[in-house]
Structures are given as structure tokens and as C-alpha cells.
Amino acid sequence: MSQFALPVRVYIEDTDAGGIVYYVNYLKFMERARTEFMRSLGFGKDGIFNEGIMFVVRDVKIRYLRSAVLDDELQITAEPSLVKGARFVVRQRVYRHDELLADALVECACVHRISQTPVRMPSVMRDALLQAMNGG
């Protein structure tokens, strides 16, 4: 699989009074891209919830490099960089054309939906993430 990218347009509600994207909205864009990335692998909401699991963000490290502004067309990428039994890390970037605006590592943990304790992700999901990580 080539690198996953989700196109996003910046709307007024994404910006502050100066027309610049509010910093937390980059995380919202990344959440959408991770969700669509998982859906592209065959793991939409129904597939995940029917397994009795869910994913929570455990850690985020983000560098903001440049500002996006009102009406920009952005590309939000998602590519797994680490896959373990109960967690995976996704490298996510925000681009305006070829210009890198934000670069993040997002660690997601697989947890039981009710107890919210860590559980191993289903092997089919782990294998799909590993295949995507290895360019397959």
C-alpha cells in the first residue's frame, strides 16, 4: 500500500480569530485520517466494535512547523511505524502541497471496550497494519 493520505480543506471553524488553524485542530485532522486509514484496511467502526475492542490514543508527540490558514487544501498522512501486540504507532504528517506543516507520532492502544484494559489486537488487524508498515 502506498502512504495513506486524506484531503482536508480548512474551514472557518478550524481557525482562530486571525484565520490560522488552531493547534488542537491538527489533532482532529489526524484523528480523521487514522480512522479513514483503518477503514481502508477493512476495519471500520463496525469491524472494530464487533470485536469488543476500541483504540485509545496513549501518547502524542507533535512538532508544528508552519501554520495552515483558512481555505488551505491539506493532505493528512497516516503510516504505521510500529506494531506490537496491543499497540501501534502511526506517523502522521500535515502537508500543504509539498510543504510540511506538522509532524507527529501517535501511539494507539487496543483496549477492551467495557473494562478499558489493554488487550492484544486481533491478529488479522495486526497483520494488516504490519503489511501497510512494510509497504505491502
Whether residue 16 lies in the annotated active site: yes
CA dihedral 125, 131, 135, 136 (to 10 degrees): -110
CATH code of 21's domain: 3.10.129.10
Q: Which of 14, 16, 103, 127 is catalytic?
A: 16
Low-confidence ranges of the chain (pLDDT < 70): 1-2, 47-50, 136
Structure-block grid coordinates of residue 10: 480548512
- pTM beyond 0.85: the answer is yes
The total number of structural domains in the chain stands at 1
Average pLDDT, the chain: 93
Position 1 scores a pLDDT of: 40
The tens digit of pLDDT for each residue in 8-31 reads 999 999 999 999 999 999 999 999
Alpha-carbon separation of residue 79 from 16, 39, 91, 104, 125 (angstroms)? 29, 13, 5, 11, 14
Phi, psi of 105 (to 5 degrees): -115, 125
The tens digit of pLDDT for each residue in 38-52 reads 999 988 877 666 678
Q: Which domain holds residue 73?
A: 4-133
* Sheet of 53-64, strand order: 4-9, 73-83, 87-96, 99-112, 53-64
